[in-house]
Amino acid sequence: MSSSQKRILFISNGHGEDNHSSYVIETLLELCPDLEIAAMPIVGEGNAYRRLNIPIIGPTQNMPSGGFSYINRWRFLTDLQAGLIGLAWRQLKAVWEYAPACDLIMATGDTVSQGFAYSTGYPYVSFISCLSSLYEGKLYVGPFIGHFLRSPKCLAVVTRDPYTAQDLKRQGITKAKFGGIPSLDKLVPTGKDLHLNPSIPTIALLPGSRLPEAERNFKLQLNLVLEIVKVMPTNHIQFRAALVPKLMDQLAEIANNEGWEHNEGQLTYQSDHGIAEVRCYSDAFSDILHNCTLILGMAGLAVDQGIALGKPVIQVPGEGPQFTYKFAEAQTRLIGSCAQTIGTGPATLETLREAAKLIAETVADKEYLATCVEKGQKRFGPPGASVRIARLLLNHMGDENPIMFSKKR
């Protein structure tokens, strides 16, 4: 297929959705370097697209909720006060103006992004990356998104896991196809030296990526580390933290405020139970995930990636806006028995003590660890999502597709 005059627009409504789309875009450009690609990130600044120098066709703005107003409806009010409706209207108009020049639209996310794509009247592919039948055993397809997915203009419905594709087909959406999680394709170790002792368990700290929440989460995890070393000797456990660069820049300040010592990315704490040590990196996410025994997770997509690699996850709820008990509980339902959530609200000292005991038990349970490897791989399906989705998009942009010559509804 000649791509010299082909153009595709990516619409996404969330940071994780932006990342999924960006990995697909990278593969698309490898397959068809001349393809014209643009994006409309509805939530946030669209940094995943900007990293690839993909043109953004409309206005972007960070909202107070960080895109998680669905978790706390009060945060939705703060978004409204910050101009959410006006922003969404300007974004929608930008999509309407740009869509006529496109051969295809790819909508990644839930009702909002799918609604944007549907409203153009042009052909689109839906990637419902944040929806899964694994939450409840059956995906509730509401009237709005159900209408968008069943529209003749929706050429395919791509799912994040095989079970959801099968479920949607049972519900009559026969164009549902398993895609997978594109970011898993990029989860390759770089060979970074993590200074690990291979004979003892490694705990990965994943506090999330959005500040200031990630900072609060990381401080909570440091307190959890101090509880862990009370029930496990410090020479029987090791900790590695995967932090975003902005959080790495704050390590000295965090250490000072929390009573730790900081030296070139290494945090240490002298206690009656020995010296607790946490080595922190901003460039070793894949290496830490591949080499860890267990994950202390306070994130979304990063936890999914760990589970897909077969790593068990212990979660303690934070203050939000993203990683609250509601989010953690839903995450547990999504990824199954390989994730365990401690506490039903923002973590207390008692929560951390309970989590520490569970962590000590879990890293010593070889049968459970082996089960997580098997279940994780089965739950998310085989790797290769970026290529599968990219080829699907290219197929629908081919001249053999008659709908391309009759775009309007």
Domains plus CATH for the chain? 7-180+384-405 (3.40.50.2000), 202-380 (3.40.50.2000)
> Measured between alpha carbons, how far is 242 from 244 in angstroms, rounded to an integer?
7
> Measured between alpha carbons, how far is 303 from 285 in angstroms, rounded to an integer?
12
Q: Is 319 helix (H, G, I), strand (E, B) or coil?
A: coil
Residue 312 makes CB contacts below 8 A (sequence gap 6+) with 294, 295, 338, 339, 340, 362, 368, 369, 372
Are 115 and 146 in contact by the 8 Å Cβ rule? The answer is no
Strand order in the sheet with 124-127: 36-41, 7-12, 104-108, 124-127, 154-159, 176-178
What phi and psi, each to the nearest 5 degrees, are found at residue 389? -70, -40
Q: Average pLDDT of the chain?
A: 86
Work out the average pLDDT over 184-196. 89
Higher-pLDDT residue of 46 and 277 is: 277
Are 133 and 31 in contact by the 8 Å Cβ rule? The answer is no
pLDDT of 320-368, one tens digit each? 766 666 766 766 766 667 888 888 888 889 999 999 999 999 999 999 9
Answer positive or negative: Cα dihedral of 186, 188, 194, 196: positive
User: What type of residue is 272?
Assistant: D
- State the DSSP code for 61: B
Higher-pLDDT residue of 7 and 305 is: 7
pLDDT at 303 over 70: yes
Lowest mean pLDDT segment, chosen from 123-137, 214-228, 373-387: 373-387
> Measured between alpha carbons, how far is 109 from 297 in angstroms, rounded to an integer?
22
Lowest mean pLDDT segment, chosen from 196-210, 371-385, 393-407: 393-407
- State the DSSP code for 235: G
User: pLDDT value at position 364?
Assistant: 92
Are 85 and 334 in contact by the 8 Å Cβ rule? The answer is no
Mode of pairing for the β-strands spanning 294-297 and 36-41: unpaired
User: pLDDT value at position 402?
Assistant: 38
> Measured between alpha carbons, how far is 401 from 389 in angstroms, rounded to an integer?
17
pLDDT of 64-78, one tens digit each? 555 544 444 555 566
Banded pLDDT at 231 (limits 50, 70, 90) = very high
pLDDT of 1-57, one tens digit each? 444 579 999 999 888 899 899 999 999 999 999 999 999 999 888 889 999 999 999
- Please measure the distance between the N-terminal and C-terminal CA atoms of the chain and give it in whole angstroms: 25
User: pLDDT value at position 117?
Assistant: 96
Banded pLDDT at 100 (limits 50, 70, 90) = very high
> Measured between alpha carbons, how far is 161 from 236 in angstroms, rounded to an integer?
36
Banded pLDDT at 399 (limits 50, 70, 90) = very low
User: pLDDT value at position 77?
Assistant: 64
pLDDT at 409 over 50: no
